[in-house]
Structure 1
């Protein structure tokens, strides 16, 4: 495996966090992991990493278990949330495997200690991994129930001094309505944090948006299904929405 170069031609970003949902790893299946989809996303990350951009990742766990869904079915909320955190660790390990097959040095860093499979979260150690051009995948959310992986992504992005959060979704930006159900939906090129909260747009949950706003951390929403999209967005090309 080779380390990346120190320069990032065509990109104004030195360090970013990529947030994707667990459902993004399902592909066309209804549950779990779809290895070709995991590999495709890993190649997207590799292409950006090769330019020298330092990358953190946070992956949700909804393809395996979602705490809110378990709670809605009568499970005690704290237990359900911890189960969801463990699901994110499984997804992180799958992405680590795919990235390392492509020659990208990767570390899975968990907010819940489980030394046999990944590292515990220590901020200064994580920063050092990034400085050494390793991809850091932050797993197990914040380590606390009642917080989503969106909030965890915003927290870690701030702790790692990332310049932006890139949120990969199934649509090419933020819309005023669900564009799948409403073809007439309007896409925003740029929208403020306050408008996202006031209009209740489903970009990230409210606590994540508020945390990003308080720390002036921009969120760039783009389609993860577009081949080469992540690299293109970093270079300022393609279709996306900036929340700032």
Structure 2
């Protein structure tokens, strides 16, 4: 298949994916690899929006467990996603991919504020839009941001790119040698079996809006393009039971 299966996608990148093998911060080679994979998809004519996590720099939940007020810790995590988004924008523009960063928390000196109609217009013009600072509210994850933005911009699918994990398993494959990879699921399966693919708020939002989700590994080059072209990799999660 040479024609893309999707016209508009939301790519969800975890902060850990940007850290690569070093486990913290931003690994330059990994950032370059991700940017080149995004360019492959853009060159197919696919409209690409990206939501980036911040776990490679700061996690709100872990911060709150150390005594920091939860809302404050979450805002710190939102700022970490902005740092990652700017780094990704730089990597993309170095390979001539036009990019816009939009933030849910206004910081007009470095990025645009999130405006739904403007983001859609950027996508229609072939620009990659990176959504930073989560939803702009504490207590919501970047997974929920991906689900929310996908619904708002009417994306056809969310592609959840994982670092060193090639799909969803019945249990943690790093701890359980008998863990089985699951090729397809529904969001009800995810919620009822507590599989930890994304938080319950994000799963419910995707289910309610019938947004499919594909979980796959970002570490193998070309995987984003393979998914967009309809190749069967990773785990496919349906937006509804039907």
TM-score by length of 1: 0.95
Task: Please name the residue that 1:185 is paired with.
Answer: 179
Match in the other structure for 2:211: 217
Equivalent residue for 1:136?
129
- Name the residue aligned to 1:124: 117
Equivalent position of 1:174 in the other structure: 168
Q: How does 1:27-176 map to 2 (within 5 A)?
A: 27-169=20-162, 170-176=164-170
- Aligned residues between the structures: 237
Q: Deviations over 1:196-215 (max 9, x none)?
A: 00000011101000000000
- What residue number does 2:191 align with? 197
Residues 126 and 136, structure 1, Cα contact 8 Å, conserved in 2: yes
For 2:3, the equivalent position in structure 1 comes to 10
Residues 8-58 of structure 1 deviation map (CA, whole Å, 9 limit, x = unaligned): 942120000000110111112132111111111111101111000000000
RMSD: 1.1
1:207 aligned residue: 201
Question: What is the match of residue 15 of structure 2?
Answer: 22
Taking the aligned partners of 1:110 and 1:62, their CA distance within structure 2 comes to 17
Per the TM alignment, residue 181 of structure 1 is displaced from its structure 2 partner at its CA by 2.0
> 1:234 aligned to 228, 233, 237, which one?
228
Q: Tell me whether 1:243 sits opposite 2:237 in the alignment.
A: yes
Deviates more, 1:26-35 or 1:13-22: 26-35
Alpha-carbon distance in 2 for matches of 1:130, 1:237? 24
Whether contact under 8 Å (1:229, 1:238) holds in the other structure is: no
SS in 2 for 1:28: helix
Secondary structure of the structure 1 residue equivalent to 2:21? coil
Q: Shift in Å at residue 238 of structure 1? A: 4.6
Offset of residue 180 of structure 1: 2.1
Normalised by the length of structure 2, the TM-score is 0.96
Q: Secondary structure at the match of 1:56?
A: strand
Which segments of 5 or more consecutive residues in structure 1 lack a partner in the other structure?
1-7
Aligned-partner SS, 1:70? helix
My pick for the range that moved more, 37-46 or 172-181, is 172-181
